[in-house]
Homo-oligomer: A and B are copies of this chain.
C-alpha cells in the first residue's frame, strides 16, 4: 500500500517579503519522513483571504493531509481560521471550550481576555482542537487539514500532538555516498542503476572538495534490503572514488 501523502501551506507576508526565514517546513519534512507520510508539495502564500482559500482547497483535494502554519494569533493579519472555515463552507464563531482554555491561561498569567484575544477562540464548526502548551491559543483539525501556529516552538509542539493520531506508512529510509567524481561522470551509470531499482529514488547533488567537483548520491526508499543492495552496486561502480 502506498504511503499517505501530505502538503504544507505556509501563510505569511513576512516569509514572502524576506523578513523571516521559514523554519517549520524543514521540521515538518523530517517528522513526516520518519512516519512514512510523503510530503509532496509546499505552498507559501501571503496573508490574503482569497489566496489562502484557493490554495487550501487545491491541496486538501489532492493530498491525504494538509498542514498549515501561521496566521492564528490575535492581530488583524491573523486570518487563517476564517479562511479555513470559508474553504470548507462552514460557519465559524467563538467556541466555549477554546474560550475557557484562553480564560484560564490569561487568569493565570495576569492578563485580560480582551476582544482581540478572544478572536483566538474562533473555531470553524466541526473542528477538533489542538493543544497549545506554550501560549494556550489552540490550533485545530478540520477534515484533513491541520491548522498550526507559525511560531516554531508552538508549531513543533502542536505537530507533536497531532502526528501520533495519524496513520503512517513505511518510514522513508535513505543512504548516501560521496563520490569524488563530477555529476557529469556519474550520470550515465547512475541512470542505469536507477532503472534497475524503480522502487527506489536516486538523487544526485554536487559538492566541491579541494577545488574538485564531487557528487553526493542519496538513495531513498522504504525497503532497507533493497537500499543495501543498491548501495553495494553503487560502491562497486566507482572503485577508488569513494570519499
A residues with a Cβ closer than 8 A to B are 13-22, 25-26, 29-30, 32-33, 39-47, 51, 55, 73-77, 106, 111, 114-117, 119-120, 135, 151, 172, 174, 182-188, 190-191, 194, 201-206, 213, 215, 218, 220
Contact = CB atoms under 8 A, between A and B. Distances in A.
Contact of A191 (B33, B76, B174): B76
Contact of A33 (B18, B41, B76, B182): B18
22 contacts: A13-B201, A13-B203, A13-B220, A14-B218, A16-B39, A16-B40, A18-B26, A19-B203, A41-B46, A42-B43, A73-B206, A75-B186, A75-B190, A76-B190, A76-B202, A76-B204, A111-B184, A111-B185, A114-B188, A116-B188, A117-B187, A135-B213
Copies in the complex: 2
Contact of A203 (B14, B25, B74, B117): B14
A41 B45 contact: yes
Given A14-B205, A29-B18, A39-B17, A188 B46 contact: no
A40 B114 CA distance: 33
Given A76-B194, A185-B114, A188-B115, A41 B43 contact: yes
Given A45-B41, A51-B41, A75 B18 contact: no
B19 A218 contact: yes
A206 B155 CA distance: 14
A104 to B, nearest CB: 15
Most B Cβ at <10 Å: residue of A22, A29, A201: A29
B14 A30 contact: no
Contact of A29 (B17, B117, B174): B17
A75 to B, nearest CB: 4
A184 B135 CA distance: 11
A47 B220 CA distance: 13
B75 A174 contact: no
Contacts of A119: 187
B172 A17 contact: yes
Contacts of A45: 40-41
Contacts of A46: 40-41
A203 B55 CA distance: 21
Contacts of A184: 74, 106, 111, 114, 116-117, 120
